[in-house]
Amino acid sequence: MKQLLTGSAIALALTASGAFAEDISACLVTKTDTNPFFVKMKEGASAQAEALGIKLNTYAGKLDGDVETQIAAVESCIAGGAKGILITPSDSRALAPVVTQAREAGVLVIALDTPFEPTDTADATFATDNFLAGELIGQWAAAKMGDTSKAKIALLDLNPSEVSVDYLRDNGFLQGFGVDIKDPKDIGDEDDPRIVGNDVTNGNEEGGRTAMENLLQKDSGVNVVYTINEPAAAGAYEALKSMGLESQALIVSVDGGCPGVQNVKDGVIGATSMQFPLLMASKGIEAIKAYADTGEKPMNSEGLDFFNTGVELVTDQPVEGIPSITSEEALGKCWG
Amino acid sequence: MSDTTPAKKGQDFEHVLDKSDRSVASFETSQRNIIERLQSALHGNPTLVPVIVLAAAVAVFGLVAGGKFFSAFNLTLIMQQVSIIGILAAAQSLIILTAGIDLSVAAIMVLMAVIAGNLAVYNGVPAPIALIVAFVGGTVAGLINGFLVTKIKLPPFISTLGTWSIFFALNLWLSGAQSIRSQDIDANAPLLKFFGQTIEMGGARITYGSILMVLVFAVLWYMLNKTAWGRHVYAVGDDKEAAELAGIRTDRTLLSVYALSGFVCAIAAWASIGRVGSISPQAFYEGNLQSITAVVIGGISLFGGRGSILGALFGALIVGVFQSGLRLAGVDVLWQVFAIGWLIIIAVAIDQWIRKASA
């Protein structure tokens, strides 16, 4: 079945576009073509590439976690003589060998959104500070609750692979909320009694709903719900609503997609951390152009091992001491 | 050749016959040991295995996970959680009974949900018409698979592997990879969420979707067992050439099976909108494999022509019971996946063993 998946995935994914017109070519390899986040990223990269006269080939895995297709895509980029590769790795570790191979071939590799492990596997990382994104919603939830001793926390994560974006957001949220997170790279190793449990959602509504039902099953008193992204949050809300519990729980999330921001406006999601995929992609293309022209590689943000493309808290119920923007303002900046 | 025992009565060379069995020729019926009898009983009633496994699983998890597992709330939640995969498994069963396989069931379902949602929520088409379009679309999608199998003579595996990708790509194109929000569906086309409504009795929460799943199985069971069409489906699955020689129009039967399967996928599409709340182009990506899992665990033979469609219902419930039980027992997600893997292997191994039964 695995082979079967891969076979068809490659068939679908390797629909790279265009001919070799310009001198500089670059590749964009995203996790999927299905997530609006990556669709936006592709838009940002394509627009910037056109502006700078770079030939851009885009590839995507068929679903989140589709490592094989991404490896094949990177190999095609090396073979195609790309000057630089922008990639959102589906697996922070599994893609390291092929990325190393690309760098040895003189290709500039920039991780977008999801850092590699170790981070210096790639030449640079342009990403949201996912830990900070989690921390902001954690702090917001704690401030909103006031007395957090009676909190009952449900954690809706991405998938069993525990990729970096998954543990960074999860642990960031817990730290912000005031929970001892133990190993910051491990999900679910906390022993705080306020945590009801973790479950996985695959980042979509169906998974979010099922995971929320499962955790409510463990404890129907859940009153704080962390979600890996906004579709999962929408699913969690449906589960709560179906049991008449939607008013007891604060739902927080990360992403800043337009439907998610709309859900903040409608009161489904309490607060979400917005990230900026378009900026990641356009900065990435600029960096490839600079590298092609001068051989210069991009620098990290100060104090971080990546270039921070920023994050903003979106909520209509602002709290003291945590800067945030309203959903109305956010609708003008959201992606997807 | 030669008897080494010395002869006792002169030249009576037939004395060895005294040692032979004197009973009249008969069928072995009462002589078989208990295992053989079990094998034969299972051969006659292929649904028996999943029923036993389901009962045993419920009992074991009831003991391990305690009262939380056995609550009416949890048991109805399991029904709710398996309802979509259950309906897909019904569609899958139809195909597998003809010795085929359908990798595109979930893709058809998601595509039809997206079509209905796009029409009703974004384009102002009345919800009933949007649903009719989805039902027609599902049937046509099934017919495409059937056409590839019967007219172009492609193996079902290949046909549906191809259409899986095609339907998935169309789904992404139509939806722009964006979910349709629950609130927008409520505002514009609440009918799409019809099957998300629940009937509450005590702690039990039975959704219309769960009832729909049972109804789909009941109707298909009747069609397969009580109509000529149903017997033709089994005959084609068991031995297509023999069925053809017996006067069954096999291609026409196959086409009807694929069309019906596509129609059932469209039913699943409607139910899935109620279940999920929103319409997500990314949900149920592995629905095809999960439906095959339910069918196989339900004791329907992948070689066609054997097994009851009700088995698929039990198969889906077994998966749901295992996941719920393991979860409540605090077992990590990956071990749930592990357990389901073993279930598949054991189920098919049992099927192979039963097939060797003498009668």
Contact B172 A34 (CB under 8 A): yes
A155 & A106 share domain: no
Please give the Cα distance from B57 to B60 (Å, whole number).
5
Among left, alpha and beta (phi > 0; psi -120 to 50; other), residue A66 is beta
Indicate whether A69 belongs to any domain: yes
Of B179, B282, B289, the CB nearest to A259: B179
Indicate which CATH number applies to the domain containing A206. 3.40.50.2300
Q: What one-character DSSP code corresponds to residue A118?
A: S
pLDDT digit string, tens, across residues A34-69: 777 888 899 889 999 999 999 999 999 877 778 889
Closest residue in B to A197 (Cα) is: B330
Q: Name the residue facing B177 among A39, A217, A241 (closest C-beta).
A: A39
Q: Which of B198, B285, B328 sits opposite A217 (nearest CB)?
A: B328
> Would you state the pLDDT for residue B14?
72
For A214, B210, B270, B297, the CA distances from B197, given in Å and listed in that order, are: 19, 10, 13, 29
ipTM > 0.90?
Answer: no
B277 contacts A160? CB cut-off 8 A: no
pTM: 0.79
- Report the distance separating Cα B230 and Cα A251, nearest Å: 50
Q: Is residue A336 part of a domain?
A: no
Are the Cβ atoms of B278 and A262 closer than 8 angstroms? no
Report the run of H or E that residue A172 belongs to, with start and end.
helix A164-177
Range of the domain at A76: 2-128+277-298
In a shared domain, residues A30 and A141: no
Structural contact between residues A127 and A114, judged by C-beta atoms closer than 8 angstroms = yes
Whether residue A70 sits in one domain with residue A208: no
Q: Are residues A99 and A183 in the same domain?
A: no
Residue A306 is assigned to a structural domain of this protein: no
Residues A181-215: pLDDT tens digits?
999 989 989 999 999 999 999 888 999 999 999 99
Strands A55-60 and A224-227, by their bridges, are: unpaired
- Closest-CA distance, B30 to chain A, in angstroms, reads 44
Residue with tokens 């964009």: A28
CATH number of the domain bearing residue B160:
1.10.3470
Q: Does residue B247 lie in a domain region? A: yes
Distance of alpha carbon A320 from the chain centroid: 27
CA A295 to chain centre: 29
User: Looking at the DSSP assignment, which residues form a beta bridge with residue A255?
Assistant: A274
Q: How many domains does chain A have?
A: 2
Give the tens place of pLDDT for each residue, A137-157.
999 999 999 999 999 999 999
**Two tokens at A250?**
């604060």
Task: Looking at the structure, tell me whether residues A236 and A315 fall in a common domain.
Answer: yes
The string of DSSP codes covering B123-145 is S---HHHHHHHHHHHHHHHHHHH
Q: What is residue B359's predicted lDDT score, i.e. its pLDDT?
A: 45
Within a domain: A303 = no
A138 CB near a chain B CB, below 8 Å?
A: no
**Is the domain of A101 the same as that of A177?**
no
Same domain, A180 and A59: no
Contacts of A241 in chain B (CB under 8 A): 277
Shortest distance, CA B232 to any CA of chain A (angstroms): 30
Average pLDDT of adjacent 10-residue blocks, chain B of 359 residues: 53 72 65 78 81 89 81 88 96 96 96 96 95 98 97 96 94 86 91 92 88 97 96 94 93 97 98 91 89 93 90 94 84 83 87 72
Element (H, E) at A261: helix A258-265
Kindly report whether the peptide bond that precedes residue A36 is cis, defined as omega within 30 degrees of 0.
no
Name which of B282, B328, B333 is nearest A34 (Cβ-Cβ).
Answer: B282
Any domain includes B314:
yes
Interface contact A204-B280, CB threshold 8 A:
yes
> B77 to chain A nearest CA, in Å?
8
Q: A136 and A116: one domain?
A: no
What is the pLDDT, as a whole number, of residue B29? 58
Contact B87, B113 (CB under 8 A): no
> Percentage of chain A surpassing pLDDT 90?
62
The helix or strand, by DSSP H or E, that contains position A55, with its residue range, turns out to be strand A55-60
Q: B281 and A35 in contact by Cβ < 8 A?
A: no
Is there a single domain that holds both residue A268 and residue A284?
A: no
CA distance B93 to B88: 9
> Structure tokens of A58?
């885009």
Report d(CA A263, CA A257) in Å as an integer.
Answer: 10
Note whether residue B358 is domain-resident: no
Q: What is the distance, to the nearest Å, from the Cα of residue B55 to the centroid of all Cα atoms in its chain?
A: 18
Using beta carbons and an 8 Å cutoff, which residues of B are at the interface with A? 68, 73-74, 77, 80-81, 103, 161, 164-165, 168-169, 172, 176-179, 181-183, 196, 198, 205, 272, 275-278, 280-285, 289, 324, 327-328, 332-334, 337
Tell me which residue of A236, A311, A235 sits closest to A280, measured CA to CA.
A311
